[in-house]
């Protein structure tokens, strides 16, 4: 009877290892964690960067999260240029929007903010891209991430 238990234990370990390897291979082949973006609440996205919510006057907001090796929340919202300036002064003092270091599509302004120390919500840095509209509005793409 004891030999059966020993044999069962000896065979269970390689079976468990084989199952784990098979699960890992299937996951790697069927999922791309880098591109898996999910809808998120904008409150969660802004809380991740230690903000109480979207800036005053923000509308048309859409937020997402991507979690893999790091966590990245993205918030896209529209607000007036004046509200954007007021919010930046209150939320991230000293942040200067400039067009000099913007990458990618034509942008009117952008900023990179290192959070030192990291936000209590988890973010370590923030990137912001801004496109100005003709009607004194600003469309803001806001990324808060931890790596």
Q: Is there a contact between 105 and 75 (Cβ–Cβ < 8 Å)? A: no
CB of 55 within 8 A of CB of 42? no
Give, in order, the Cα–Cα distances in Å from 8 to each of 5, 17, 18, 19, 83. Answer: 5, 14, 15, 16, 68
pLDDT digits (tens, 9 = 90+) for 29-82: 566 556 678 999 999 999 999 999 999 999 999 999 998 888 999 999 999 999
Instruction: Enter the pTM of the model.
Output: 0.75
Torsion of CA 29, 34, 40, 46, to 10 degrees: 160
Distance (Å, whole) CA 39 – CA 13: 39
Confirm if 110 and 97 have CB atoms less than 8 A apart: yes
75-104: per-residue pLDDT in tens? 999 999 999 999 999 999 999 999 887 887
In angstroms, the Cα distances linking 128 to 86, 109, 145, 146 are 15, 8, 12, 15
Name the residue ranges covered by the structural domains of the chain. 1-31, 38-145
């Amino acid at each position: 009877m004891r030999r059966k238990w020993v044999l069962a234990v000896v065979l269970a370990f390689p079976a468990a290892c084989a199952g784990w390897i098979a699960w890992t291979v299937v996951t790697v082949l069927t999922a791309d964690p880098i591109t898996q973006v999910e809808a998120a609440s904008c409150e969660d996205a802004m809380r991740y960067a230690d903000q109480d919510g979207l800036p005053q006057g923000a509308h048309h907001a859409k937020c997402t999260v991507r979690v893999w090796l790091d966590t990245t929340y993205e918030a896209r919202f529209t607000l007036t240029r004046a509200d954007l300036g007021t919010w930046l002064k209150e939320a991230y003092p000293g942040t200067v929007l400039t067009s000099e270091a913007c990458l990618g599509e034509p942008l009117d302004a952008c900023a990179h903010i290192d959070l030192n120390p990291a936000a209590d919500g988890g973010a370590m840095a923030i990137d912001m891209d801004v496109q100005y509209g003709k009607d004194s509005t600003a469309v803001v793409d806001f990324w808060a991430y931890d790596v």
